[in-house]
Amino acid sequence: MSLMVYLNDGLVPEDEAKVSVFDHGVLYGDGVFEGIRAYNGRIFRLEQHLERLYDSARAIMLSVPLTIEELTEATLETCRANELTDGYMRLVVTRGRGDLGLDPRKCQEPTIFIIADSIKFYPQEYYDNGLEVITCTTRRNSPDALDPAIKSLNYLNNILAKIETVRAGVPEGIMLSSDGYVAECTGDNIFLVRDDHVITPPISVGNLRGITRQVVMELLAEMGIETHEELFRLLEVYNANEMFLTGTAAEIVPVVTVDGRSIGDGRPGPLTGKLRQRFHELTQSEGTPIYD
């Protein structure tokens, strides 16, 4: 079935959803995006994703051509046009069509599009058996240069690290900050279970303020478990009791080895299992309804 894509001011069939080769999103990766999930007829944490999109846009001095209310409606409309109940949405705002120079003032108006599609799930074995991950040699962008908290269209840093994981035959990889602290994975945030509490790197080390990360911290608080946002290095990872990753696509996925070292007993941990269960219940029951 051909998808309907929201482009600039309305829905068009996917074959007609085209952007210019002069769009600075294409020429320079000049733009921002969001990846959002729908579960059971509801969009999960839509408000938070849209807030992050506007925050990213503000950081690069790009003005989103729709108000947050209009963008909410456009997102819902795109889901309805594709009869989506469970799936994945990609919202993209670029600097728009300009000339062959960096100057963003040459771009008259931003391009905005929304794709709502089915989701390619991670294989069930990732959740049952846990992931093997490596540490990538590619360091995460320094926040001094391009802050990873901006969800920009410039994902080459992550892609270079992803190529390392592909070559190593593993699904994800840890990215360190330029001074060797654990930052995040190529498309997921990182959590460790250490004794009676949980640790995750602070945003300031250079990572995305993940929506799933936020949800997990809320679930842990409800369970009476403290999350400490603190800097740590690989030694801490190798000696964790449990490790898991969070992201919109991956949800919550256990990690069982890092650079060949077993984490904990080398099997998905019990707290990770409990969190997965609670996360599943939450995604099935809350969110912005797509249909009345």
Per CB under 6 A, residues contacting ligand PXG are: 35, 158, 184, 187-189, 207-208, 210-213, 246-249
CB-wise, 105 or 120, nearer to ligand PXG? Answer: 120
Of 102, 96, 59, which is closest to residue 208 (Cα–Cα)?
A: 59
Tokens of 71: 């963008």
Residue type (1 letter), 66: L
Query: Minimum CB separation from ligand PXG for residue 145, in Å?
Result: 15
Query: Minimum CB separation from ligand PXG for residue 109, in Å?
Result: 26
CB-wise, 106 or 164, nearer to ligand PXG? Answer: 164
Tokens of 31: 């733009």
Length of the chain: 292
- Rounded to 10°, the helix 270-285/211-222 angle is 110
Residue number with the smallest Cβ distance to ligand PXG: 35
Cα 52 to chain center, whole Å? 11
CB-wise, 22 or 155, nearer to ligand PXG? Answer: 155
How far is the C-alpha of 111 from the C-alpha of 91, rounded, in Å?
11
CB-wise, 82 or 158, nearer to ligand PXG? Answer: 158
CB-wise, 96 or 188, nearer to ligand PXG? Answer: 188
Which one from 18, 106, 120, 151 is the annotated catalytic residue?
Answer: 151
Cα within 13 Å of Cα(84), Cβ side: 28
How far is the C-alpha of 97 from the C-alpha of 88, rounded, in Å?
26
Query: Minimum CB separation from ligand PXG for residue 209, in Å?
Result: 8
Q: DSSP assignment of 124-146, as one string?
A: HHHHHH-EEEEE-SSPPPPTTTS
Query: Minimum CB separation from ligand PXG for residue 22, in Å?
Result: 26
Residue type (1 letter), 130: G
| Residue 162 a catalytic site member | no
Query: Minimum CB separation from ligand PXG for residue 135, in Å?
Result: 16
Query: At residue 275, what are phi and psi to the nearest 5 degrees?
Result: -65, -40
How far is the C-alpha of 70 from the C-alpha of 76, rounded, in Å?
10
CB-wise, 158 or 288, nearer to ligand PXG? Answer: 158
Query: Minimum CB separation from ligand PXG for residue 103, in Å?
Result: 28
Give ∠ CA 217-120-18 in degrees, rounded to 5: 105
Helix (H) or strand (E) holding 229, with range, is strand 227-229
Catalytic machinery residues: 151
